[in-house]
Structure 1
Amino acid sequence: MASRTEQLSQPKPNLLRHVDRRSVYWRDELPPKRTGCSTSFELTPRWSQLSRSKTTQPGFDHIRDSPIWVVSKGALHAHASHRLCALALPRCPAAGWQPDRPILASVSSTKALLKTKQAPKHEHPMYSRERPMSWHIPRAARNAVASKRVVELSCPKERKALFEGYNPYIVSQAARSAQPSPRLQELCLPLPRKCKLK
């Protein structure tokens, strides 16, 4: 039995060249018995080209076994032109280019700071440091008396439960003594087209 690779290497039949028109109907006589293959297939030039194994290109027939090969005499005695020498030079950096800064900045020592007369910055005259844990309380704060408003604000806010003490049917005094405006009275009347004439 042929292997899978050999089966895939076989050309495909050209089904469009000889169309197989089989029919089960006949008129005068029975169809002849078929002994062999019904149609013969023929390869197109393109299919025969694709079925061949790939070959290397003409310029790459020789495979180098070693990275060292013979250099021709012309290459040994060749001289580079001025243009080639100019292209071989490394490109100069731009005018404003600066090298990258190091990741870790060097910290100068205290002696170096003293030599260069770069003492640490002084604190601002209005700067106040953190207050100590215990400090002196002035006499005015000790003898201070809270006003009535301060005592009122210091009391906790009373919070009632939801809808506690709320009556939705109570009508306020302002609503009882309210008087409607002429425009409101006009809007309260029904539309004339909906009124029935008596």
Structure 2
Amino acid sequence: MATATEEKPSSRIETLAKPKRVPPEFLEDRRSVYWVDYVPPRPGPNGTTEITATPRVQELARHRPPSKHWMGDRITPMWPVSEDAKNAPTTERIQLLSRHKSFLDHRMERSPYMYVSESAKRATPSQRLEQLSVPKQRQDRYGVYETEWGQYNEVSPAAMKASHTERIESLAQSKSYHKDFKDERSIQWTVGNSALNAIATLRMQQLARPRSRTMIKDDYDPYKISPSAKRARCTPRVDELCVPLPRKVRQKKVA
């Protein structure tokens, strides 16, 4: 009999409801984007950095051994052929491929005047072929509205006698110009007296005046901070926005 201390098997819902375990290499939020994930290797006693490679990396780092059947480059392109290679039996397919091409297999180009058989001369065309062989009339090509090749849409007598509604007649009228619309004027036109006798404002005269050389500062330093900017005080809203997020200021757990 099962004891009372034994745990009952949990259901599928309880298994799925359990939180996911945190992996051992998990790191909490970094305090800076420049925070490293691991401590870089440091030089050893002899001044060089010692890195321990895994067995798999050591296996991949080894050079590929030459095959036991590998042979170096031959000294000369001519070498003796063994007796076994000379007396080796060949298959029927190799003998067929080794034969040269005979002239009997070659076919000359046929004449442009082909021979027509007697059955083709006595053949009678079908009704469809006779219909397709009839030339198209000029009236069918240019006088009838054709939406697709060989398909005509004739206008019905009811459409010819139909009368349009008031709405269609109003939509068919051309759109009139705006009441303030003016046509394009010519390239040369007379300037009004008001434009000729106009006096520019003080601001316009100030903007139209060329820049004086005395206003140019050769010793201008763009990186110099003005005393007013140094004594500036930020608003409470700026102070609030400058505070880092709470989840970013948590202290690191020391192992």
Return the TM-score normalized by structure 1.
Answer: 0.35
Q: Which has the higher contact order (CA 8 A, sep 6+)?
A: 2
Look at both structures and tell me which one has the larger radius of gyration over its CA atoms: 1
Return the TM-score normalized by structure 2.
Answer: 0.29
